Each structure stands twice: as C-alpha cells, then as structure tokens.
Amino acid sequence: MNIDGILEFLNSHASVRQYTDQPVSDEQIDRIIDTAQRAPTSSNLQAYSIVVVRDPAKKEQISILSGNQPHVKNCPVLLIFCPDLLRLRKVCIQSGYRFREEYFEYLLLAVVDAALAGQNALLAAEAMGLGGCMIGGIRNRPQEIAELLDLPPRVFALFGLTLGLPAKPARIKLRLPRSVIRHDEWYETDKIEAGLDEYDRAMRETGIYRGRRISLEEIGPNLEEKTTEDDYGWLEHTARRLANPASARPDLRPFLESRKFGFR
C-alpha cells in the first residue's frame, strides 16, 4: 500500500459540476454503493438508504427544487442519501419492542451514518475516474423531494451526489489553515481570528468570488454595501450566507417532525 499515493488521492478532491455524456453503468453504481456500505456506521445499524436517479425528467425536477443547479439536471446519475429509521422501526416491531424514535439521538445517528456513506461513495467514484458534487440544496424543498421520490415516513433526503465523467479538470479549493482546525488538549479560541484573516486573504487572491457576490437584499432591508470586488472574500461571502434566513431552512424541523423524526 502506497501511503503517499493514497494521501495524494484524498487531497486531490474537487467538486465536479460539468460532465460528459458518457453514462455511468449499473456495475459502477453497484461498486460505488458497495463501497459506501463499508463506511463506519453506529452500532452496525446502517441507518440510511440510497436512491439512484437516472430519469432526465426527475433529475430536472430535483434540480429546480434544489436551487436550479444545472449539474443536477445534467449529470448522468444522481445518488440521494437518506437517513432511514423505517427499517430500524421494522426491526423493533418484528422483535416485539417499541422503537424509541422520539429521541433526537436516532435522527443524529442516521444523519451521521448517511454522511459517512456519502463520503465513501464519492471517494469510490473518484477512484474509478468519475467526478461528483454533493448537493445540500436537496433540503431546500424537502416535502416536494419526498413526494417525488415516494419516501415513506421516517426517511428523508439529506443530500444528493451528482456523478459522471468530468468534462474538464475541476478546481481544488483552498481549505482553512490547520491552525484553526487543530486544537491540542483544549479548544484554543485565541488563534481563530488570525487564521480566518489568513484564509480570507488567500481565497481572495484566487479570484473565486469575482462575480459571485451575495446580494444584501437577500439578507434584509436597509443594509449598505461596504465591500468592493477586491475585498469581498471568504469572510464576507460566508457571513452573508449565514445571515440569509433562507440558508437556515426554517421549514426543515417541522418537515422532519411530520416525517416522524423525534427531537426529544
């Protein structure tokens, strides 16, 4: 096993949003899902399901519901990762017990299981020469997505994964400096600000945010624009995303409660 080669592969990830017309075969999808299933899972509960979507009309509908992302419509195949407590409830009923689904822990457990499976799936796809992009916008309109995919109660779409052969090389984004991620023995708050400023400068230098400024109108009224194209970077972009009420998906909890997920 070549450790350096494996680490280089893991560090080469970049989200791919443009694909060729070459299809992804059933054999490839099965291998991707098999690898997804080898991800860590809490107590071997495997609390997730994966919906494979190829139908062009359905992908187009999902694209619209996910924020009009064209790569959702144009990808050869879309995998949708769903936290799934339905199967575990059936296990309890079959054995004569009541599933304590009212507790938030089980929702959290299923979300983590699905996320880990999704990461494994993406790595498997990339190892096969494919590219992909995680789609969190799948949670923008959760009820419509659930109806479109005929998801039963206790199952919901957490994120999508577009897959296909990359049409061109993808751009690898910089990540936060290790200094703000790593904490030895205790959480060190005094190094956050310097690390964020360093990252902001580096991201601005890449030019990644040119033409991508989030409008202040999305955040609230009477806000004055104080940034220029040159000083609009990761800090401002991220702050505007987090200040936008729509980004918080306020309808998500009521939807999950209606799907029998507990928050106790």
Q: Which domains does the chain have, with CATH numbers?
A: 3-170 (3.40.109.10), 178-248 (no CATH)
E-assigned strands of the chain?
48-53, 77-83, 131-135, 159-164
pLDDT of amino acid 229: 87
- Averaged over 140-166, what is the pLDDT? 98
Which residues does 64 contact at the CB level (< 8 Å), separation at least 6? none
Residue 1 has pLDDT above 90, yes or no: no
Residue type at 241 in one-letter notation: R
Alpha helices in 66-183 (DSSP H): 70-74, 86-95, 104-127, 142-149, 178-181
**How sure is the predictor about 187, in pLDDT bands with cuts at 50, 70 and 90?**
very high
Alpha carbon distance 77, 193 (integer Å): 41
Which one has a higher pLDDT value, 195 or 220? 195
Alpha carbon distance 18, 27 (integer Å): 22
Overall size of the chain counted in residues = 264
Which one has a higher pLDDT value, 229 or 48? 48
pLDDT of amino acid 114: 98
Closest by Cα among 10, 80, 81, 83 to 42:
83
- Averaged over 65-87, what is the pLDDT? 97
Cβ neighbours of 71 (radius 10 Å): 21
Closest by Cα among 134, 137, 174 to 17:
134
Helix (DSSP H) and strand (DSSP E) numbers for the chain:
11, 4
| 3-state SS assignment for residue 93 | helix
Percent of the chain scored above 90 by pLDDT?
A: 94
Tell me the CA distances in angstroms from 239 to 100, 109, 242, one per residue in order: 38, 29, 5
Please say whether the beta carbons of 121 and 32 come within 8 A: yes
Alpha carbon distance 78, 132 (integer Å): 9
- Averaged over 28-51, what is the pLDDT? 98
pLDDT of amino acid 23: 97
Which one has a higher pLDDT value, 245 or 124? 124
Cβ neighbours of 50 (radius 10 Å): 19
- Averaged over 22-30, what is the pLDDT? 98
Please say whether the beta carbons of 52 and 157 come within 8 A: no
Alpha carbon distance 230, 210 (integer Å): 8
Per-residue pLDDT tens over the stretch 95-145:
999 999 999 999 999 999 999 999 999 999 999 999 999 999 999 999 999
- Averaged over 46-71, what is the pLDDT? 97
